[in-house]
Amino acid sequence: MTTPQLLAPNVSAQHWADPSHPDDRPFIRKYVFSTDHKTIGNQFMFMSLFFLMIGGALAMMIRWQLGWPGLPMPGGGVLPETMAPGGILLPEFYNSLVTMHGTFMIFFAIMPLLVGMFGNWLIPLHVGASDMAFPRLNMMSFWTAVPAGFIMLASFAVEGGAAGAGWTAYPPLSAVPEYSGVSTGQQLWCVSLVILGFSSLMGAVNYITTIVNMRAPGMTWLRLPLPVWALFITAILILLAMPILAGALIMLLFDQTIGTTFFLPETGGQPLMWQHLFWYFGHPEVYILILPAMGIASEVIANGSRKPVFGYPAMVGAIIAIAFLGWIVWGHHMFQSGMNPLLGSSFMLSTMIIAVPSAIKVFNWLGTIWRGDIHLHTPMLNALAFVAMFVIGGLSGVFMASTPVDIYIHDTYFIVAHIHYVLFGGSLFAIFAGLYFWFPKFYGRMLNPTLGKIHFALTFVFYNLVFFPMHNLGLGGMMRRIYDPNQYGFLEPLQPMNTFISVFALALGASQLVFFFNILWSLWRGEKAPENPWSSNSLEWDLPSPPPHGNFEAMPAVYRGPYEYSYPGRGEDFWPQSEPPNGRRARVETSGAPVAEGVPQ
Amino acid sequence: MSQAAAIHAQAPRPMEGMKVYNVKLGMWVFLLSEVMFFSGLIGAYIILRFAHPEHWAAPGEVLAVPLTAFNTFMLICSSVTMVKAFAAIEHGDQAGLKKWLLATIVLGAAFVGIQVVEYTKLIEHGFVPIASLYAAEGGPLYGSTFYTMTGFHGVHVSIGVLCLSFTAFQAFRGRYTEEYYGGVEIIGLYWHFVDLVWIILFTIVYLI
């Protein structure tokens, strides 16, 4: 008998769940320094939600200042004199607020939620592995992200306050303490992000190796669930983009501390070089923040529509195309920084081409929903919101990509509106969708659907009331990081709109409490989750909720793609990937030999 | 021992039928990331040098090319000894593995040592990374870029020497066999990468 050629050659290196062997790991190895990808995913969830709250609180303060400039903030009295004497926010502190809001949300909330949490939760289960390729590296990845976050948070407490040069940290403002009034805070900002870069790098190496090497037999590339495809491409982007940021941050840190002169023009440095390096990382970063969201939305929309994803290969191709194009568009962040107009035009063209694969994805989502048996469960509602908001954010992106229009709207609230439409309306709604969808699998409890729908409705309405008018603020000329717009006469008429936005921003912030309450309440009191609450197809739904340490009892076998919903002539409207064609469940023993006949090669 | 535990104990082995085992694939992926890191630094160097050629002195005027050429030669030799170590364990030659690993460590450590001596002399000459104290020929960009690029390479060599020392420690414990040599192979990959980067850095920083 010939040994079957397995797609995942690393079979025998895996540590399958052994039901006869109880999980006897001590507490600290089970919950704190755990190497189990599911626990690390849970840890990333709690860490990122904590920083999401911090970032949200900072946003509330920003909106207070813009809605009621110069008025003492309720509860602002608890802040020290250096931030808000008498509750009135200082301009210097306001600079720190916008900087740290962006930094926390991008690097410590959205990125670890999408990549850290969903990456860890989904990749090994979706490919049919017992764990990541490098479980200890995975643990280190989490435990370097935590200190990075707390260094960032601690920078509020140092003399001079937290970084205040914007999340893009353009020098010379960021490099010379006299310019921004911040010295140690700006250095801690660099150090924290370098450490976080290591964390992301370890994650990316792990994800790529796991997806390439540890797929179960039959799990061909074109049978991978779309979140795994998205996370795979995202991991490649992280792998190649984070080191560029690390290099730039280190040069900036050297300029700040030991007195080198990379970015300081008086001694020969080039401030514009920072922008090139930063955005060479920064634009792929934009796709790091949206591609996993797209994958999650695809999964949830197919499930909620009870239909296969329309054009699966095109969806994969579009992810790859977006990721590739993402590397040649960074100049569109710098149209107004002094650039040869001819070069600007080439960046404009490459940016607009991204609309093509993005539109492929949007039309394929619509094609998936079209004439489906639509179930409007909470994950589906959030996924639909993701598609709608992503379309608005994508279309405003085309405005900014156009160099003549960008002359007018660059660095205004139009940009703020755009980034929030793709990052909140896009990524965060997809995160909500994914959380409502997979929370039961990893905690064994359903999230409360009523609270979930209330949270969705409030968030969707308030969100649009907050961010849509910002387009108008931007067209009215309001600058992006301005402390008090009323210092300019032509912005005074916009004050009522700013107050309107702030009222609903506070309401939006408050309605997130429903979400946090739902999570905390459901962890202990939620309805017990069955194996497969959403009648979904991918491998994790074969397992108990939560899956045991080691996931599968033995190597699973995969017979079809993950989106075989409503297959004609089949009784059930879903068809698990692991169900053999003859209807009998089969497993492959750990020796690597298929038990049942007909295991696909 | 349960079957699962037995499987777990074997985990780091290169598996039969595997094209590229996990740790090796992981190392290649990591090295891609390293390529991007050094590309960023080299890219910045190119931009700055084209913008301000007057900050650079003629090759050999400030930097000691013969000393560094000798150092480069040593690092290339250390790549050869690394290959020898790998070839030895592939054939199960334990003594050869230990001998060649130690040779690699000595050469790598000597490289870092010579670089430290070079730095000391350069700093005495006024060639410093700090713009306000720069007193050598050319301008401060020369010092800033030189120390950042060669410094990061030096850190990589030092980390490599530490990892090699750990590999050698494992080799002396008899951890590697002709079937199980992944640890030697992946540190070898890293070491060759560091060597290759140095050849590029030596060319553009010292010779051009």
Return the pLDDT at A1.
33
Residue B56: list chain A partners with CB under 8 A: none
B53 touches chain A (CB under 8 A): no
Indicate the angle between helix axes A226-257 and A119-127, nearest 10 degrees. 140
Are the Cβ atoms of B4 and A18 closer than 8 angstroms?
yes
Return the pLDDT at B13.
37
Q: Which of A64-68, A142-146, A337-341, A536-540 has the lowest mean pLDDT?
A: A337-341
Contact (Cβ atoms closer than 8 angstroms) between residue A215 and residue A305: no
Return the pLDDT at A585.
55
Q: Does domain B19-207 have CATH number 1.20.120.80?
A: yes
Bridge partner list, A412: A479
Are the Cβ atoms of B148 and A273 closer than 8 angstroms?
no
Residue A260: list chain B partners with CB under 8 A: 129-131, 140, 143-144, 147-148
Closest by Cα among A416, A408, A399, A404 to A482: A416
Contact (Cβ atoms closer than 8 angstroms) between residue A473 and residue A492: no
d(CA A61, CA A509): 11
Return the pLDDT at A15.
76
| Mean pLDDT of all residues in A111-139 | 95
Give the pLDDT confidence of A406-445 residue by residue, as tens digits. 999 999 999 999 999 999 999 999 999 999 999 999 999 9
Is the alpha carbon torsion for B90, B95, B98, B103 positive or negative? negative
d(CA A474, CA A413): 4
> Who among B18, B29, B130 is closest to A259 (CB)?
B130
Are the Cβ atoms of B3 and A18 closer than 8 angstroms?
yes
User: How close, in Å, is residue A212 to chain B by CA atoms?
Assistant: 9
Whole-model pTM: value is: 0.93
User: How close, in Å, is residue A260 to chain B by CA atoms?
Assistant: 5
Higher pLDDT, residue A589 or B63: B63
Are the Cβ atoms of B10 and A5 closer than 8 angstroms?
no
Chain B interface, best mutation among A6, A12, A285, by max B CB count within 10 A: A12
Residue B42: list chain A partners with CB under 8 A: none
Q: Provide the 10 A C-beta neighbour count for residue A46.
A: 10
Largest CA distance in chain B: 70
Residue B30: list chain A partners with CB under 8 A: 201, 205
Which two structure tokens, joined as six digits, stand for A328? 């040649």
Closest by Cα among B67, B22, B6 to B182: B22
> Who among B8, B22, B139 is closest to A15 (CB)?
B8
User: How close, in Å, is residue A268 to chain B by CA atoms?
Assistant: 7
Closest by Cα among B202, B174, B193, B192 to B37: B193
Instruction: Name the closest residue on chain B to residue A257, using Cα atoms.
Output: B130
Residue B17: list chain A partners with CB under 8 A: 3, 5-6, 9
Domain definitions of chain B by residue range: 19-207
At B129, the amino acid letter reads: P
Contact (Cβ atoms closer than 8 angstroms) between residue A194 and residue A249: yes
Domain definitions of chain A by residue range: 27-289, 290-524, 530-601
User: At residue B15, does pLDDT exceed 50?
Assistant: no
> Who among B7, B48, B55 is closest to A15 (CB)?
B7
- Phi and psi dihedrals of B166, rounded to 5? -65, -40
Are the Cβ atoms of A260 and B144 closer than 8 angstroms?
yes
| Mean pLDDT of all residues in A257-264 | 93
Q: Provide the 10 A C-beta neighbour count for residue A75.
A: 11
Complete DSSP assignment for B3-56:
HHHHHHHTTTSPPTT-SS-HHHHHHHHHHHHHHHHHHHHHHHHHHHHHH-GGGS
Bridge partner list, A588: A555, A594
Residue B55: list chain A partners with CB under 8 A: 268
User: How close, in Å, is residue A18 to chain B by CA atoms?
Assistant: 7
Give the pLDDT confidence of B171-205 residue by residue, as tens digits. 999 999 988 888 999 999 999 999 999 999 999 99
B25 touches chain A (CB under 8 A): yes
Instruction: Name the closest residue on chain B to residue A211, using Cα atoms.
Output: B22
> Who among A18, A239, A264 is closest to B2 (CB)?
A18
Chain B interface, best mutation among A262, A270, A334, by max B CB count within 10 A: A262
Confidence of residue A2 (pLDDT cuts 50, 70, 90): very low
A-B Cβ pairs (cutoff 8 Å, strict): 154
For chain B, the distance separating the N- and C-terminal CA atoms, rounded to the nearest angstrom, is 61
Chain A interface, best mutation among B144, B152, B193, by max A CB count within 10 A: B144
B15 touches chain A (CB under 8 A): yes
Chain B interface, best mutation among A205, A214, A263, A276, by max B CB count within 10 A: A205
Chain B interface, best mutation among A132, A260, A330, by max B CB count within 10 A: A260
Chain B interface, best mutation among A10, A194, A252, by max B CB count within 10 A: A10
Confidence of residue A28 (pLDDT cuts 50, 70, 90): confident
Quote the CATH superfamily of domain A290-524: Cytochrome c oxidase-like, subunit I domain (1.20.210.10)
User: How close, in Å, is residue A274 to chain B by CA atoms?
Assistant: 9
Question: Measuring CA to CA, how many Å separate B39 from each of A243, A264, B102, B161, B200?
Answer: 9, 21, 31, 23, 11
d(CA A598, CA B108): 54
Residue A273: list chain B partners with CB under 8 A: 44, 47-48
Return the pLDDT at B20.
83
**Going by C-beta distance under 8 Å and a sequence separation of 6 or more, which residues neighbour residue B99?**
B85, B88
Return the pLDDT at A451.
97
Instruction: Name the closest residue on chain A to residue B27, using Cα atoms.
Output: A205
Chain B interface, best mutation among A215, A253, A267, by max B CB count within 10 A: A267
Are the Cβ atoms of A259 and B8 closer than 8 angstroms?
no
d(CA B114, CA A409): 55
Give the pLDDT confidence of A54-68 residue by residue, as tens digits. 999 999 999 999 999
B155 exposure class (CB count in 10 Å sphere: 0-12, 13-18, 19+): exposed
Average pLDDT, chain A: 92
Are the Cβ atoms of B40 and A201 closer than 8 angstroms?
no
Bridge partner list, A479: A412
Residue B41: list chain A partners with CB under 8 A: 247, 251
Complete DSSP assignment for A208-219:
HHHHHH-PPTT-
Contact (Cβ atoms closer than 8 angstroms) between residue B13 and residue B180: yes
Give the pLDDT confidence of A195-233 residue by residue, as tens digits. 999 999 999 999 999 999 999 999 999 999 999 999 999
d(CA A319, CA A546): 30
B130 touches chain A (CB under 8 A): yes
B11 touches chain A (CB under 8 A): yes
| Mean pLDDT of all residues in A28-35 | 90
Are the Cβ atoms of B37 and A241 closer than 8 angstroms?
no
User: How close, in Å, is residue B4 to chain A by CA atoms?
Assistant: 6
User: How close, in Å, is residue B99 to chain A by CA atoms?
Assistant: 30
> Who among A213, A214, A273 is closest to B47 (CB)?
A273
Give the pLDDT confidence of A273-315 residue by residue, as tens digits. 999 999 999 999 999 999 999 999 999 999 999 999 999 999 9
The tokens 């005495």 sit on which residue?
A: B124
Residue A259: list chain B partners with CB under 8 A: 129-133
User: How close, in Å, is residue B37 to chain A by CA atoms?
Assistant: 5
> Who among A21, A239, A277 is closest to B29 (CB)?
A239
Class of domain A27-289: mainly alpha
